[in-house]
Amino acid sequence: MYDEDRTFLAIPGPVEIHPRVYAAMNKHLYGHRTSFFREIYKQCDEKFRQTINTKNPIQFHAGSGSLGLHTSITNFVQAEDHVLNLVNGKFGERVEKITSRFTRNSHSLKVPYGHGITADMVKQEFEKNADIKFVTITHNETSTGVLNPLEEISKVVHDHGALLMADCITSAGGDLVEMDNWNIDIFVSGSQKCYGLPPGLAFIALSQAADERLNEVPRNNDFYSDLLQFREGVKKGDTPFTPPVSLFYGLNETLDIIHEEGMDKRIQRHRTMGMLYRNAIEAMGLELFAQPEFRSNTVTTAKVPDNVDSSKLSKVMLELGIMIAGGQGTMKGKIFRIGHMNLVGPRELLMIVAALEIALKKAGANISLSSGVSTIQQYLADQ
Amino acid sequence: MYDEDRTFLAIPGPVEIHPRVYAAMNKHLYGHRTSFFREIYKQCDEKFRQTINTKNPIQFHAGSGSLGLHTSITNFVQAEDHVLNLVNGKFGERVEKITSRFTRNSHSLKVPYGHGITADMVKQEFEKNADIKFVTITHNETSTGVLNPLEEISKVVHDHGALLMADCITSAGGDLVEMDNWNIDIFVSGSQKCYGLPPGLAFIALSQAADERLNEVPRNNDFYSDLLQFREGVKKGDTPFTPPVSLFYGLNETLDIIHEEGMDKRIQRHRTMGMLYRNAIEAMGLELFAQPEFRSNTVTTAKVPDNVDSSKLSKVMLELGIMIAGGQGTMKGKIFRIGHMNLVGPRELLMIVAALEIALKKAGANISLSSGVSTIQQYLADQ
């Protein structure tokens, strides 16, 4: 009944995309070494800065979010550098893998999946190892639905004179990220999550400290990711390599849509949708996976109930035209994940939850139909 | 929260359109007096015929469904002809207005809104007036949610030697229409309903009897609607006037989508969705408007409950991102209408009904949240 071309994406990215963004991307291509493109680039830069409250220029890298992570590390980490990775999920583990390629002194603070990392834990790491000069953190850990306290952790990192690289791939553009106020040195995000674009663009911004550090660090061999080249690009208002022009058309449009809603309202919407979905999950009698004080507002993880076949759950959801995500790695079959990013509002949430109840029941769960959806309805009816 | 560009259209047309159709319509324009266009025309003709089970060629008219109705009448009805219009809603009244422009002998069989017209009633009209040579019927009356028994009525019309013009604008492509088996002489439909295209194309097909009649009837002054010109066009495989090329791209794609689903399954889906929505309405404690034996499978009308402000109902639905339709003319404020055409499946129905319950409650109705949506969930969970 639902073909792949109109499956509703309730996975934690890629997400549903606004029709205006599709329309914008359909615009005829144009040469990128032109004043026409530089004007679009300039607008994207200015509008993007407002989404993370920064004065720093934004670099646009043609590639996935993982390119952004790789680039942030290869440009700053040398073979003897002591790096601390804050790891509580698959995406933190990915960063850990990248840093360990560049230094033999890659350390990791690990907490169990579903747990958050606190500023105190980070402080203790610095007390154990005063040589740490570079810290990586996954702000919103998409694999576990955990939102780490970035602002507090950043204070500790800077109290100890280190640089902080923050993977904000599934937080920025939806939840609150304050690059300057929180003192993030290297900000990384991607196009296909809260920014509501197809995959293909990574966003990087550097604090003044990080930018200065670039002059001191010897260059790696990496050519495509060499941030010095991007710094030159930013000065001219374009990119060192051919940019994905259509994605820039789409970025300019999605940033307009974001600012028409207003970042404050947008963040509030993401938080409300997260709250409503979590309440619905608990009303169904299911258990949330992440620790209560660290729950993400853009992706929610819930435990697969006993006797429920998680692959059946996903299959029935897909038959109902909605794609959800399962657990990754060791979490496979144990949790399922829903993304509520970008355009997800009450209408989508009602649909997702109503379908989820059917799918859970058909996959073997002992739940009452409408138990979750009615909590969302009640909240909305009371508004 | 929901801007106009992504309002979900739960009105009885225009409807939600498949992303593949948008993509197809984005294709670069091409000249229409070319073999390239004639090939598309030919494919559209062949694929369209299968949706109404006919051997007759399809004419494609650049204009709205009303152009189709106008054209069907101006080409067949002369000043002294006795015409019988079967009228039970606003769209039947529109046809009545058109026929009365062309003949002083325009008669109408009228039954109250919400009621169906039976073959027996039509028989009685012929018994009263043996001069009737042309009958018009609105197969699916969009203003009242009534599906008239076209097949049975057609038998009576042909028993009395008259021609039958059937407005199938909101039935064809979704519910069953059998042009040849049912002996429809002049079939009319439009692009923006069950066929899932933007507005702008009217479809007309003529039975052999109607086609022969064209030679006998003196021409009106009408140029744009002159079916003799279209008959010539059909022979060459194109249209007498410039066709809306992009809509043809879209038509070719939507017909592919229709046949990938299969007309039988598609009709069954429309009937199931109609049944599920009607059951949900009654489970909420609301009253359906149309007589039980004449209820449409593509558009449902329900009475606005006492103490409910229907404009508030529509407003709250729109705030929830879903557009519904109110009553027209004297029915304004008394009924509300939902279209479940083209792409509407379980996912959309769950969303519409969950939102409708919230909107009804906020507009003053005394209903239990989830009372309707749970009936749909239960049905789907039992599948």
Concatenating the DSSP letter of every residue in A299-345 gives EEEEEPPTT--HHHHHHHHHHTTEE-EE--GGGTTTEEEEE--TT--
pLDDT value at residue A147: 98
Sequence letter at residue B306: D
**A-contacting residues of B 84-113, CB under 8 Å?**
none
The 3-state DSSP class for residue A352 equals helix
Measured between beta carbons, which residues in chain B are less than 8 angstroms from residue A350? Answer: 350-351, 354-355
Measured between beta carbons, which residues in chain B are less than 8 angstroms from residue A378? Answer: 369
B287 contacts: CB under 8 Å, gap ≥ 6: B302, B303
A275 contacts: CB under 8 Å, gap ≥ 6: A297
pLDDT value at residue A220: 72
pLDDT tens digits, residue range A267-298? 999 999 999 999 999 999 999 999 999 999 99
Distance from CA of B368 to the nearest CA of A (A): 9
The 3-state DSSP class for residue B45 equals helix
- Cα separations (Å) of A112 from A248, A291, B152? 38, 11, 70
Cα-to-chain-centroid distance, residue A22: 21
Taking the Cβ of residue A78 and every Cβ of chain B, the question of whether any pair is shorter than 8 Å is answered with: no
How do B325-326 and B335-339 pair as beta strands? antiparallel
Of the candidates A261, A350, A358, the beta carbon closest to that of B381 is on: A358
pLDDT value at residue B376: 98
| Angle between helix B263-283 and helix B373-381 axes, rounded to 10 deg | 130
Distance from CA of A287 to the nearest CA of B (A): 22
Domains delineated in chain A: 4-14+262-381 (3.90.1150.10), 19-259 (3.40.640.10)
Inter-residue contact A151 to A139 (CB < 8 Å):
no
pTM: 0.93
| CA nearest neighbour of A153 among A104, A103, A69, A84 | A84
pLDDT value at residue A376: 98
Inter-residue contact B160 to B126 (CB < 8 Å):
yes
The 3-state DSSP class for residue A254 equals helix
Show the low-confidence residues of chain A (pLDDT under 50).
none
CA atoms of A191 and A251, how far apart (whole Å): 8
Sequence letter at residue A221: N
Measured between beta carbons, which residues in chain A are less than 8 angstroms from residue B358? Answer: 377, 380-381
Of the candidates B3, B347, B376, the beta carbon closest to that of A2 is on: B347
Measured between beta carbons, which residues in chain B are less than 8 angstroms from residue A346? Answer: 1, 320-321, 355
A interface mutation test: which of B358, B362, B368 has the most A CBs within 10 A? B358
Inter-residue contact A89 to A167 (CB < 8 Å):
no
Taking the Cβ of residue A8 and every Cβ of chain B, the question of whether any pair is shorter than 8 Å is answered with: yes
Of the candidates B6, B260, B346, the beta carbon closest to that of A320 is on: B346
Q: What interface predicted TM-score (ipTM) does this complex get?
A: 0.89
pLDDT value at residue A231: 87
pLDDT tens digits, residue range A11-23? 999 999 999 999 9
SS3 content of chain A, % helix, strand, coil (to 5): 45, 15, 40
Measured between beta carbons, which residues in chain A are less than 8 angstroms from residue B20? Answer: 5
Closest residue in chain A to residue B357, using alpha carbons only: A377
Full pLDDT tens readout for chain B, 383 residues: 899 899 999 999 999 999 999 999 999 899 888 999 999 999 999 999 999 999 999 999 999 999 999 999 999 999 999 999 999 999 999 999 999 999 999 999 999 999 999 999 999 999 999 999 999 999 999 999 999 999 999 999 999 999 999 999 999 999 999 999 999 999 999 999 999 999 999 999 999 999 999 988 887 778 899 998 888 888 888 888 999 999 999 999 999 999 999 999 999 999 999 999 999 999 999 999 999 999 999 999 999 999 999 999 999 999 999 999 999 999 999 999 999 999 999 999 999 999 999 999 999 999 999 999 999 999 999 99
Distance from CA of A224 to the nearest CA of B (A): 33
B232 contacts: CB under 8 Å, gap ≥ 6: B240
Inter-residue contact B108 to B134 (CB < 8 Å):
no
Asked whether the CA dihedral A300, A306, A312, A313 is positive or negative, the reply is negative
The 3-state DSSP class for residue A129 equals coil
Of the candidates A26, A269, A321, the beta carbon closest to that of B347 is on: A321
B interface mutation test: which of A377, A378, A379, A383 has the most B CBs within 10 A? A377
| CA nearest neighbour of B380 among A322, A304, A6, A348 | A322
The 3-state DSSP class for residue B263 equals helix
Residue A368 exposed, middle or buried by CB count within 10 Å (0-12, 13-18, 19+) = middle
Give, for A294, the enclosing helix (H) or strand (E): none
Residue B188, phi-psi category: left (phi > 0), alpha (psi -120 to 50), beta (remainder)? beta
Closest residue in chain B to residue A262, using alpha carbons only: B1
Sequence letter at residue A296: S
Residue B213 has which token pair? 């009649």
SS3 content of chain B, % helix, strand, coil (to 5): 45, 15, 40
DSSP 8-state class, residue B343:
T
